[in-house]
Chain A
Amino acid sequence: MFGIDVRQKAWSAGLIVLFFVAWELFCLMTGMSDLVLPRPSQVFVTLFQRFPVLWPHIVQTLATTMFGFVLGVALGVALGAVIGVSKTAYDTCYPLLIGFSSIPKVAVVPIFVLWFGSGTVPAVLTALSICFFPIVVNIATGLATTEPELEDVLKALGASKFDILWNVGLPRTMPFFFASLKVAISYAFVGAVLSETVASNRGIGNVMMTASSNFNVPLVFAGLFVLAGLGVALYAVFSLIEGRVTGWATRKNDVIAT
């Protein structure tokens, strides 16, 4: 007897396989040129053959993503904590934050390049600036929604603001935080690749740009597959950590004692 979980995973895997089979059949039946849409089998072959060449670029993209992500998380948590704890800071900072987050990050990359030259630095900064906002919003929301009654109970005991933040505010923000991490890691990835595409001579984004200007379409798709794979892998890692740390928030469906 399979558990719900195993069956669910089997369906997910099945759907992915089905997607590639359908794609392959579609290309074969319509006689699609591989300059327009290569078959998945071609893409996988290219990916396999070119992997030694792709590997340093994968490492580069992954490194810039993670670096930008870590910086973004650190900054986001700090700012989120400040505006979550203080109503004044919340009201003061919010318009500026919304304004900042509304700017399409593709428009910011040239500015970063102008300031820091092309390459790694603008990629890290783009990743940072794009993944930072969801973290700020989620941390601030989590902190701002702490039950006032519970705060009163602790304040009446003489608890300091820090006591309350440490014992109540931060732990209850964890589900919000990890939800935002999953979003942020994908964003950081998009940011890094975006910047590499515009201004870099390394990274998956750059490989795809070069390949498309050489009409090496299977290699472009190989790059896409790598990006998708990395994205799923990073998401899975943070889901796993989330489950470990904030299991209490999702356990409500278990059997309830009476």
Chain B
Amino acid sequence: MRMQPNAQFDRQPVPDGFGPIAIQLSEAAVTFGRGDRAVSALSKTTLRIADGEFVALVGPSGCGKSTILRLVSGLVQPTSGVVIVGGREVAARAMRVGMAFQNPTMLPWMTIERNIMLPLKIVEPFRSNFRKLRKTEFRDKANALLEQVGLKGFGNHYPWQLSGGMLQRANLCRALIHEPRMLLLDEPFGALDQFTREELWTILQNLWMTRKPTVLLVTHDLREAGFLASRICVMSARPGRILDDSRVEFARPRTVAMTFEPDFVALNQKLRAFIEDARSAAEQGAG
């Protein structure tokens, strides 16, 4: 079923300071399995994200946050509705996006540098020049990114020589090396300790401010969402839908100290209340 992009959406104004619509979900729903065993992962969701926005998805666990990421990356096709990314419907072949998950999944037989260069081996136009440029231009590119995340000089190390926080930084580099316009992050800092996490927020914020990709971040951490995002979407319990969609106006660059100021705490409380409601509603529904 192929539909033309909805004219109604095209007319809607784009938020100030951002480009045209980059990601658009129109009543997209996802169901896994068939018949009696069907599990609804995401009920009809409509969401528009402008180019260059940093959107955080928060909500109770199992609410379909990751499903939205997988829809946008083309790993999952919507059961109904339409998903349009970069002006085109997400087809069988996936879009060029950068992804990072909670588990950094660096390949153990490659150095960090070569791990980071992996997307260049896959994605055009880098792919056709990979053999020619992997020792020069591409390597420089990888090392420049490593320097930006504070891993200068670790390019020739193997993944097992690095700590969890360092691996997660390398993971960010791998997600960015092919200069994607879109960055999809699924709880990338979930497994890290508080201090490392806060350090990586600052790094991610810097990367975003210099490159301005569209970012979709799934997280459980409300402080993380408030620190990083320009907009936060709160989702209900499974099958998920978006309950609240609000902008975060704090000035950038934001600091960790800022997350303890009253305005920020108030935002956190508000989000928290939404998620509490969603959770208790889900429990009543189940009971």
Contact = CB atoms under 8 A, between A and B. Distances in A.
Given A149-B101, A157-B123, A167 B118 contact: yes
A158 B123 contact: yes
B122 interface: yes
Contacts of A152: 70, 73, 75, 99, 101
Contact of A256 (B70, B73, B94, B161): B161
Nearest to A248: B109
Contacts of B175: 153
B123 A248 contact: no
Given A152-B75, A156-B75, A251-B158, A147 B103 contact: yes
A149 B123 contact: no
Interface string B81-99: 0000000000001111111
Interface in A130-161: 147, 149-150, 152-159
Contacts of A257: 157, 161-162
Interface in B115-148: 118-119, 121-123
B85 to A, nearest CB: 11
Contacts of A248: 108-109, 158
B281 interface: no
Contact of A155 (B75, B101, B157): B75
Nearest to A146: B105
Interface in B167-182: 174-175, 178
Given A157-B94, A258-B163, A163 B158 contact: no
Nearest to A245: B109
The B interface, classified by DSSP as helix, strand, loop or mixed, is loop
The A interface, classified by DSSP as helix, strand, loop or mixed, is helix
Contacts of A17: none
Contacts of B107: 150, 168, 171-172
Contacts of B97: 156-157
B122 A149 contact: no
Nearest to B74: A156
Interface string A242-257: 0000101101100011
B250 to A, nearest CB: 30
B29 to A, nearest CB: 21
Contacts of A158: 93-96, 122-123
Contacts of B73: 152, 155-156
A157 B161 contact: no
Interface residues of B, number: 33
Interface string A162-182: 010001100110100000000
A149 B178 contact: no
B184 interface: yes
B160 interface: yes
A156 B99 contact: yes
Contacts of B157: 257
A257 B70 CA distance: 35
Contacts of A159: 122
B94 A153 contact: no
B109 A249 contact: yes
Contact of A156 (B94, B121, B158, B162): B94
Contacts of B101: 149, 152-153
Contacts of B108: 172, 248-249
B121 A167 contact: yes
A48 B150 CA distance: 66
Contacts of A252: 160
Contacts of B118: 154, 167
Given A153-B99, A256-B160, A172 B109 contact: yes
B109 A171 contact: yes
A134 B99 CA distance: 36
B58 to A, nearest CB: 21
A149 B103 contact: yes
A154 B122 contact: yes
Contacts of A167: 118, 121-122
B123 to A, nearest CB: 5
Contacts of B93: 158
Contacts of B161: 256-257
A159 B184 CA distance: 17
23 contacts: A147-B103, A152-B70, A152-B101, A153-B100, A153-B175, A154-B118, A155-B74, A156-B73, A156-B75, A156-B94, A156-B98, A157-B94, A157-B97, A157-B123, A158-B93, A158-B123, A167-B118, A171-B109, A248-B158, A249-B108, A249-B109, A257-B161, A257-B162
Closest A-B pairs by Cβ, 4 of them? A156-B73, A150-B105, A248-B109, A257-B161
Interface of A: 147, 149-150, 152-159, 163, 167-168, 171-172, 174, 246, 248-249, 251-252, 256-258
Given A156-B97, A158-B95, 17 more contacts: A147-B105, A149-B105, A150-B107, A152-B73, A152-B99, A152-B101, A153-B174, A153-B175, A154-B118, A156-B75, A157-B94, A157-B178, A158-B96, A159-B122, A172-B107, A246-B109, A249-B108
